[in-house]
A and B are shown apart, each in its own frame.
Chain A
Amino acid sequence: MKVGVFLSEHVKSNDTLDRLRAGSFDVVLVQNGVYCAAIKENGQASPVLGKATKVYALSEDLVSRGLEPSQVDEKVSVVNYDGLVDLIFNEFGKTIWL
């Protein structure tokens, strides 16, 4: 099972994220991390989206910030809290909160 890496900040990179073994983790964007899903700085999608094969963003944190799920990058799957619980139990063996 993969590691679920929770990213709660809007960052372009993260040392730990950069060093995890490719393919071993998925990224879950929560809190200010959801800006990585929808904001294109200077027209460019967030480099964070290229770090993992699967990237999820929490819908409640998107809409609370004025971002619609329809605005997120095509690579990102939008999940709610229910979906997040299922990811934690069914897809992730372990989690890391960055």
Chain B
Amino acid sequence: MSIKKMAFIVDKMPYKSETSRLALTHAIASQTVEIHLEDGENVEPVLAFIGAGVLNCLKNQKASEVYGVTTLESHIQNALLTDIKVLICEEDVKKYGLTEDQIIMDAEELGADITSELVPFSTIMSEMESSDHILFF
């Protein structure tokens, strides 16, 4: 049994570029990585939003109506639905004047069992330290 932990860190704002979108789609791709690996091997993803990246986590995104693209909100909910650990830096949420009720904390309507976690940066730092690789988007 060999599990490699990979930290997907998002510090860019959404929509102007596709960077944060690619973070989400790559993290969600961990669900199918086993087809390329040996029995017992797997990737454990952790997805964290820091700095301006926390703005990806605002609720009520209407990008599907405006741009005709899947919203980052929908991707974050899909990440939760596939049991990916989603961490959001609480210092940065506070810095941008946001409150927990403005942030995507669950995907209950889709049937997700887990929720996002608002955590101090130190927790995200610990996740990076315990990861085998860090992918900074």
Contacts and interface: CB of A to CB of B under 8 A. Distances in A.
Partners in one complex: yes
Contacts of A16: 11, 50-51, 136
A96 interface: yes
A21 B125 contact: yes
Interface string A8-31: 000000011001110010000000
Q: Interface size for chain A: under 10, 10 to 19, 20 to 34, or 35 or more residues?
A: 10 to 19
Nearest to A20: B125
Contact of B131 (A15, A21, A24, A94): A94
B50 A3 contact: no
Main SS of chain B's interface residues? mixed
Contacts, number: 25
A19 B134 contact: no
Contacts of B9: 96
B121 to A, nearest CB: 6
B26 interface: no
Contact of A97 (B50, B51, B136): B136
Contacts of A21: 125
A19 B88 CA distance: 15
A19 B129 CA distance: 13
Interface of A: 3, 15-16, 19-21, 24, 94-98
14 contacts: A3-B128, A3-B134, A15-B11, A15-B50, A15-B51, A16-B51, A16-B136, A19-B121, A20-B125, A21-B125, A94-B134, A95-B134, A96-B134, A98-B136
